[in-house]
Structure 1
Amino acid sequence: MNADVDVLIAGAGPTGLLLANELGLAGVRTAVAERLPRRTGQSKALNLQPRTAEVLDCRGWLEPLLDRSLALLPSGHFAGLPLNYGALDTAFPHQVGIPQARVEEFLEDHLAEHGVPVQRGRELTSFQQDADGVTATLLGPDGTESTVQAGYLVGADGGRSTVRRILGVPFPGRDGRIGMAVADVELRPADEAPGEPVEGYETHRRVTQVPGGDEVFAATEAGSDGTGEPWHLPDLSPDPAGLAFLLPLGGGVHRLILGGPEQQGVDRDAPVTADEVRTALVRCPGPPRELRAIRWASRFTDASRQAERYADGRVLLAGDAAHIHAPAGGQGLNLGMQDAFNLGWKLAAVARGRAPTELLATYHTERHPVGARVLANTRAQMALTLPDPDAMAVRDLLADLLTTPEANHHIAAMIAGTDIRYPMPGAPHHPLLGARAPGVQLPSGRAALLTAAPTSAAAAAAKDWGDRVDRLGPLGPAANGDEALLVRPDGHVCWAGRNDDADSLRAALARWFGPIS
């Protein structure tokens, strides 16, 4: 098949855009098709976890994003119970408070450097695949259809993924049992005359444009709403009246999360009413607050589902298209972006003919268990917020356990994503094999051999893969000067051995980066 592009990505959220950047960095012909005609300026997520910060820093992309952030939060939480990020083995022991819209804007703007187009207002409606590629049909804003021939298709098109539905991949799990809502609200200053709130807004699921765009986040002081109000951990203690907490976004705008009797049994596409918001504001800790306007609002549930497989032939799933879960602990955006970081270099290598298609199988085997663990911990977190006496007893016990450094570190590393360790062939005793190599910079998007011995047998072997593997020194996280580490483009160690062990290194190089001609 004479393909128009090597890879077509459906969906221009954080997952699809990060994947497109990874493919563009590797020189892969890529296009992104997005149903919405323009960015909404809305932000479902507001944070980057430490592992996602490492991922972006690995490519040199974190620093410009930090300039757009609202706050650096030194802790995480598990069902509202505090987690100490200061003890984590990372250069970024904090969450980065940043609206999802700003992450998307940065990633899309960065695509211009690689010449990767984001085709907005073009909805993928169908596709067919065969042994040679994928033929996708896109519906344009004027109602006309066009076809795109691609080597591979990636569905990064959200929880109601069209790609997943057409592919027919089972999506087992359970439907939501708890209804909740999120809204960005303007609160009336104490010195402003009372009046009726402005209720004109569009729900997130159907929105095409929010009046005013992204100015809701303009001129925000880091860590406050411009009047000194700090970010804080949400109070998720079980309460029969329901859950309600606020986060300041700047300019008098707050993010309100609400979940009470009023949100149960309501259709997910039903508008969130001003009365619901007012009721929740009364439950929020702190002084009385009056609603002036709702910027946007959306409903969600604690539905928990995961695609049975992340790849089927030449079609792959990533982000919410592969898994949905309650937004507990602030993991959703991060899970999807880390899917993209794992998949990008592998898909690039296969698409460019440098690695066998079998490499793509490791995307599922590595990321599916990570997604399953997030689904499990978010279900546990939601159970701990229920006003049930037994759930409250478990919550009290967990709160006591989390006062011990070991237990707190274990849960903190899980939520932060810094404890991920992929299964790797080789010496299982090495503490870094399969784990991430903190602090390693890979701006080229290529792999790297870490060694303090540039003339060693290992370094000489790596030269044969010189178009795919850089050599970095000093040794960095390796245990001693006799060792070398092979780090994949996603920052995970895929080989650890002695500098004179060229044979096992060659086997690892061929496995992960393809044979040499």
Structure 2
Amino acid sequence: MHDVLIAGAGPVGLLLACELGRAGCDVLVLEQEERTNPWKTMPLGMRGVSASSVEVFHRRGMLRQLLIASGVEKYGTADEDQDTAPAPRSVSHFAGMMLDADNIDTGALPYRLPGPVLEGVMTSLEAVETVLAEQAAKLGVHIRRGAEVSDLRQDTESVTVRAGDHEHEGRWLVGCDGGRSTVRGLAGFEFTGTEPQFTGYTMLATVADPEKLQPGFSLTPDGMYLRMPTPGHIGMIDYDGGAYDRAQPPTVQHLQSVLRHVSGTDVTLTDVTLASTFTDRAKQTTTYQRGRVLLAGDAAHIHSPLGAQGLNTGIGDAVNLGWKLAATVHGHAPDDLFGTYTRERHPVGAQILDWTRAQSAVMKPGPHSRALQALIADLLNTRDGTTYVYKRTSGSAQRYDLGSTHPLVGRNAPDFRFADGTHLGDHMQEGQGVAVDFTTDRRLADALAGHEGLIRYVAGSARNEVGCGALLVRPDGVVAWADGLDPDRDQFARAAARWFGSPRA
């Protein structure tokens, strides 16, 4: 019997498998596809990985591989001698309205320090999956391709799934099998939300007269279209109430008709290589766990791709769940650690759904939406507006409620640079928690007795300690506890026990 079965070898399933494999769990990944399909390669497989998601790769020693696989020749980092990091160079868009990175107020990003990760990365699903699959193999994870899950049953001790002609048993099953998740349906998760307002299209086509289409995002009186830099790579949104049947392959004639409608031109398509549809249907399961079955990524929440939040939210799910599930498998999880997965990640998913709903509402054709577009465009042209959108899309605004008033607790930990030249991320590559002690008397060292192998102790001064004397960082990079310049050892010990269990004798 395996410790964990994972349905789906996309980025979320593979990242979760790496987290569990690194922790010494026996993991089997079941993937229905035999090989990578063209929707995962460039240009149609292009995805934006946010700075917070890129940091996950940095903290697990995979950043260089990600950059190489993504074809990124130069990935700028801040001057290591600076105390503060420069503003990001790219901040995406809101409802097709591009933002100016120069408008970001760096003073509103107090915990963003100079370091290896300051920007997001444009990559592809193929690149991300390649890096993660190679890492998973090194960690002893088994991946079985061409194995579509068709049935499951669970009891109080295990879950058994049928995939192809075989049955597999595991102590836990995690569905990372996408927006049409089979696991979600078979396990009986309640899936609620809102129905679509539009049908979206993405295609790679031959355009006879591309000059008739403006480059980039274009909001029009009848919808939106996006002309990408790659010739013939076009996206468009038609507010038809989601009426176009996704199971019906879009024809050249249909795609040309929609493109002419939303663009207000007589543009001509002569050929379509690939085309697919999507909607702004926004739904979420009411919980991320039912018995011994859990969900992560699109299996737990679906929404439109507006704002490029789907992949990044799934990455957040995987790193939040991985260490908690591993601790449960190994029997040293403190009480209710597992329950924090749904409590922490469900609100994040709900916020992303609302973020995409807001964009859909603003883009909808009509005089009321056009008035909103003008108003929001003015707001997005301000420093406050641009900074707000950046904080939301980069993940830097995310904060879990961990019951502390300390401004760092619940946030992503700053990537401190220590006196020896290492960064916090360099100390997180084994997937352990990290106790950071900035004091000169190393007062927290003895409080870790019994947590060997679970928490790594790092002591010494840092380039910028942001007013902290010590902090405890969870394996997912979230600050679990922090204190001022005179840190309380007993409070630290209680925080360590809360998140990593009672010290072992």
User: Above 0.5 in TM-score?
Assistant: yes
Q: Which moved more, 1:304-313 or 1:106-115?
A: 106-115
Aligned pair 1:148/2:181, yes or no? no
Aligned pair 1:127/2:110, yes or no? no
For the residues of structure 2 that align with 1:174 and 1:189, how far apart are their CA atoms? 37
TM-score (norm 1): 0.83
Instruction: Indicate the residue corresponding to 1:323 in structure 2.
Output: 301
Instruction: Indicate the residue corresponding to 1:165 in structure 2.
Output: 185
For 2:450, the aligned partner's letter is D
- 1:460/1:396 CA distance change after superposition, 3 Å: same
1:189 deviates by 10
Per-residue CA deviations over 1:158-212 (Å, capped at 9, x if unaligned) read: 111111112211111122221111113355799xxxxxxxxxxxxxxxxxxxxxx
SS of the aligned residue for 1:358 comes to coil
Question: Which of 33, 37, 46 does residue 36 from structure 1 map onto?
Answer: 33
Question: Which of 443, 450, 473 does residue 457 from structure 1 map onto?
Answer: 443
Per-residue CA deviations over 1:92-131 (Å, capped at 9, x if unaligned) read: 4543111112111221122110111111111111222222
Question: Which of 233, 240, 250 does residue 255 from structure 1 map onto?
Answer: 233
SS of the aligned residue for 2:236 comes to strand
For the residues of structure 2 that align with 1:373 and 1:321, how far apart are their CA atoms? 16
Instruction: Indicate the residue corresponding to 2:81 in structure 1.
Output: none
Question: Which of 310, 334, 337 does residue 359 from structure 1 map onto?
Answer: 337
- Aligned-pair identity (%): 37
**Aligned length, in residue pairs:** 461
- 1:264/1:489 CA distance change after superposition, 3 Å: closer
1:413-492 equivalence runs, <5 A: 413-426=391-404, 428=405, 430-439=406-415, 440-441=424-425, 442-453=428-439, 455-476=441-462, 478-480=465-467, 483-492=469-478
Q: Which moved more, 1:257-266 or 1:27-36?
A: 257-266
For 1:103, the aligned partner's letter is V
Q: Which moved more, 1:169-178 or 1:41-50?
A: 41-50
Instruction: Indicate the residue corresponding to 2:500 in structure 1.
Output: 513
Instruction: Indicate the residue corresponding to 2:279 in structure 1.
Output: 301
For the residues of structure 2 that align with 1:411 and 1:111, how far apart are their CA atoms? 34
1:331 deviates by 0.7
For the residues of structure 1 that align with 2:291 and 2:22, how far apart are their CA atoms? 24
Q: Which moved more, 1:123-132 or 1:442-451?
A: 123-132
For the residues of structure 2 that align with 1:389 and 1:451, how far apart are their CA atoms? 57
1:245 deviates by 1.4
Instruction: Indicate the residue corresponding to 2:68 in structure 1.
Output: 67
SS of the aligned residue for 2:191 comes to coil
Question: Which of 67, 79, 82 does residue 98 from structure 2 map onto?
Answer: 82
For 1:239, the aligned partner's letter is P
Over the aligned positions, Cα root-mean-square deviation in angstroms equals 2.7
For the residues of structure 2 that align with 1:512 and 1:181, how far apart are their CA atoms? 44
- 1:261/1:423 CA distance change after superposition, 3 Å: closer
For 1:174, the aligned partner's letter is T
Per-residue CA deviations over 1:355-377 (Å, capped at 9, x if unaligned) read: 14621110100000000000001
For 2:229, the aligned partner's letter is P
For the residues of structure 1 that align with 2:435 and 2:271, how far apart are their CA atoms? 55
Instruction: Indicate the residue corresponding to 2:125 in structure 1.
Output: 100
For the residues of structure 2 that align with 1:406 and 1:262, how far apart are their CA atoms? 34
C-alpha contact 1:6 1:28 (8 A) present in aligned 2: yes
Question: Which of 16, 20, 25 does residue 17 from structure 2 map onto?
Answer: 20
Question: Which of 239, 242, 252 does residue 274 from structure 1 map onto?
Answer: 252
For the residues of structure 1 that align with 2:248 and 2:487, how far apart are their CA atoms? 65
SS of the aligned residue for 2:339 comes to helix
For structure 2, the residue ranges without an aligned partner over 5 or more in a row are: 76-88, 416-423
1:292 deviates by 5.9
Aligned pair 1:380/2:358, yes or no? yes
- 1:233/1:423 CA distance change after superposition, 3 Å: farther
- 1:402/1:104 CA distance change after superposition, 3 Å: same
SS of the aligned residue for 1:379 comes to helix
Aligned pair 1:502/2:489, yes or no? yes
Instruction: Indicate the residue corresponding to 1:183 in structure 2.
Output: 203
